Amino acid sequence: MYSIGIIGGTGYTGKKLIQYLATHPFITEFQVYAKTTAGENLHDIFPDLDGLVDNLQIRSIEDISLEHDLYFIALPPGKALQYIPKLIGNGKFVVDLGGDYRLDFEEFYMQWYKFTHTSPGLLKDKIYGLADHPSTNYDNVKLIANPGCYPTAVLLSILPLLPDFADKIVSVSCVAYSGTSGAGKSVRTDLLLSEMYGNVKAYNVNNHRHEPEILQQLYKNGFHSPFSFTPHLLPISRGIYVTISIHLSEEIEKKDIDKVYNIIYQKSPFVRLRNNSPELKWIVDSNFCDINISIKEKILIITSTIDNLVKGGAGQAIQNMNRLFGWDETSGLLERELKYVSV
């Protein structure tokens, strides 16, 4: 049985981690660490958890105990660098839900995240934890970089194509949509309900920090075509929806594409291949990724959807922990989701 530390545990993804850990069969205890809420009781921050989770006192992020086996870190960009090297140096396991270790090269952090990476040696030792892809190898791993929400939906949609069809891809265009919770709890005028209600807008066009993360993983798997990524905000709190248009140099039979996806995801309990375009409401508050594939002549359209706080955050982090420790990857996840299925 294991003890868990959650560093930055009072944000949106932190709350989801707490909910999953509270019912996880192999976790005996967990402790939440935070900055501004240190010393407060958990139920004061999350009153809806009263009766479901013990009312533990939140500890200061400046006084992190080394008693835990694994640490989930959910901090703003650049902040995890202050804690991860020490934890790894003390032999601890770490799953970082932020972007501080997702990219392989330290120079990209100044370009895309606007900070200097202070532990570049760990970039070579970490794994990129795309938990549902069978190529993710957890052997001899201490540090897992949990993928971003947009990259999770995009990569699970495109990666199965590459081994057999990369040379037939002329170009890829991703148009993606997110709920406002993806920006975290920080107060911003442009994310207020009065600003977003009835509105949709593109943002960070040609300049979103998830783009190099996506391309890094695509290039590693043989992709070499033009690629565009355009994110949008929706007037909703939860969810990611992606429409990917792939132009091909020659026609490919639908049955051949379906075959490779079925093979890749045959042992992935959280990837559901749909016969029709998925809907956001099918996946909210779940760890599922729903994918549909449609092809007409030389144009392949893939639509996929995930919950940005679960599959794009806490749920995938739990799944990574499960795979790291050799547990059933649905532990603490699927049981809870079945409990909340509406009838």
Stretch among 14-23, 210-219, 225-234, 331-340 having the lowest mean pLDDT: 331-340
pTM of the model: 0.93
CATH number of 150-306: 3.30.360.10
Average pLDDT over residues 101-125: 95
Residue 238 structure tokens: 């939860």
**pLDDT of 343:** 29
Q: Identify whether 174 is a catalytic site residue.
A: no
pLDDT exceeding 70 applies to what percent of the chain? 93
What's the pLDDT band for 185 if we cut at 50, 70, 90? low
Q: Where, residue-wise, is CATH 3.30.360.10 in the chain?
A: 150-306
**pLDDT of 52:** 86
**pLDDT of 128:** 98
Interatomic CA distance for residues 63 and 78, integer angstroms: 19
CA distances from 164 to 52, 109, 146, 211, 291 (A): 47, 32, 27, 23, 19
- Residue 167: phi and psi, rounded to 5, are -70, -10
Residue 13 structure tokens: 């993804």
**pLDDT of 262:** 97
Interatomic CA distance for residues 314 and 79, integer angstroms: 18
pLDDT exceeding 90 applies to what percent of the chain? 86
Residue 12 structure tokens: 């949106």
Q: Where, residue-wise, is CATH 3.40.50.720 in the chain?
A: 2-147+310-339
Interatomic CA distance for residues 270 and 251, integer angstroms: 30
pLDDT tens, residue by residue, 232-283: 999 888 999 999 999 999 999 999 999 999 999 999 999 999 999 999 999 9
Domain 2-147+310-339 has CATH 3.40.50.720: yes
Q: Which of 215, 225, 222, 220 is nearest to 246 (CA)?
A: 225
CA distances from 100 to 74, 197, 259, 318 (A): 10, 32, 36, 18
Average pLDDT over residues 170-198: 76
Interatomic CA distance for residues 341 and 343, integer angstroms: 7
What's the pLDDT band for 329 if we cut at 50, 70, 90? very high
Residues 6+ apart with CB under 8 A from 342: none
Measured from the Cβ of residue 299, the count of other Cβ atoms closer than 10 Å reads: 13
Strand order in the sheet with 70-73: 59-60, 27-34, 2-7, 70-73, 93-96, 143-145, 127-128
Identify the residue whose tokens are 């009838």.
Answer: 343
Residue 313 structure tokens: 């955050």
Given the residues 18, 61, 143, 149, the one annotated as active site: 149
pLDDT for residue 338 is more than 60: no
For the chain, give the mean pLDDT: 93
Residue 283 structure tokens: 């996946």
Average pLDDT over residues 90-112: 96
Residue 275 structure tokens: 């016969």
Average pLDDT over residues 315-340: 86
Interatomic CA distance for residues 89 and 121, integer angstroms: 12
